[in-house]
């Protein structure tokens, strides 16, 4: 392939930029020339799932895909907090309060519809031309403005304390790590996202995506 889109099921432990670099190298080798490859919205290194890559001439349309709605499945750990909102941060105990199933359902209902979020400082958002996570890792103060996003649906899939599993359909720009932390704040337990999987982008599904292994790319 030298033009079009490629659906990838990203593995955990790899950055979206890492996936792009590996796919670019393989496609360029196959084509005998440098092939343009770009992603259409990052997935955190710990996350898995659907990553739409634009190839060749289609890279000029990358923003179209970036702005589409997405569906995620996530596991949220209650009772603890993480400096990054995920397993890669510094984990601290908050308390041992165990919310009831009804309390968990009530908390989730507070986050449906149009809500305000403050994206995490450990994110790929650019502040003054620099990635927020680069500034945060250097210990610099990072102030990211709040944004309005839409949670079209938020379903409680399973709840066995301390794990809360959800499925959510969200607008572009929604951070599930932030959603997890905000849910923990409402419940008074603290929380962070331990697992995250993107299953859909608009009508594209991870079920139709290829793994890097199938493409002959090592992780």
Q: Give the catalytic positions in this structure.
A: 44
In DSSP terms, 74 is beta-bridged to: 166, 196
How far is the C-alpha of 20 from the C-alpha of 122, rounded, in Å? 20
List the alpha helices (DSSP H) in 174-219: 176-187
Beta-strand runs (E) in 83-170: 91-93, 113-117, 126-127, 130-131, 147-160, 163-170
* CB-based contacts of 93, cutoff 8 Å, min separation 6: 79, 80
* CB-based contacts of 32, cutoff 8 Å, min separation 6: none
- Of 142, 147, 120, nearest to 130 (Cα)? 142
190 torsion bin: left (phi>0), alpha (psi -120 to 50), beta (else) = left
Q: What are phi and psi of 5, to 5 degrees?
A: -120, 155
């Amino acid at each position: 392939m030298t033009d079009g889109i490629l659906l990838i099921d990203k593995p955990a432990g790899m950055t979206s930029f890492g996936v792009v670099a590996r796919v670019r190298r393989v496609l360029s080798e196959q084509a005998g020339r440098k092939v343009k490859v770009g992603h259409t919205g990052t997935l955190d290194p710990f996350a898995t799932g659907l990553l739409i890559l634009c190839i060749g001439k289609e890279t000029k349309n990358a923003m179209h895909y970036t702005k589409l709605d997405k569906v995620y499945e996530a596991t949220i750990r209650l009772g603890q907090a993480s400096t990054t909102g995920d397993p890669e941060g510094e984990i601290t105990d908050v308390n041992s309060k165990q919310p009831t199933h009804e309390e968990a359902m009530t908390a989730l209902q507070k986050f449906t519809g149009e809500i305000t979020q403050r994206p995490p400082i450990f994110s790929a958002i650019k502040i003054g031309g620099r990635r927020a996570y680069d500034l945060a890792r250097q210990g610099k103060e990072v102030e990211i403005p709040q944004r309005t996003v839409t949670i079209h649906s938020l379903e409680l899939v399973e709840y066995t304390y301390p794990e809360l599993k959800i499925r959510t359909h969200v607008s572009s720009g929604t951070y599930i790590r932030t959603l997890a932390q905000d849910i923990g704040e409402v419940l008074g337990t603290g929380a962070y996202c331990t697992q995250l999987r993107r299953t859909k982008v608009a009508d594209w599904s991870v079920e139709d995506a290829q793994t890097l292994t199938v493409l002959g790319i090592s992780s």
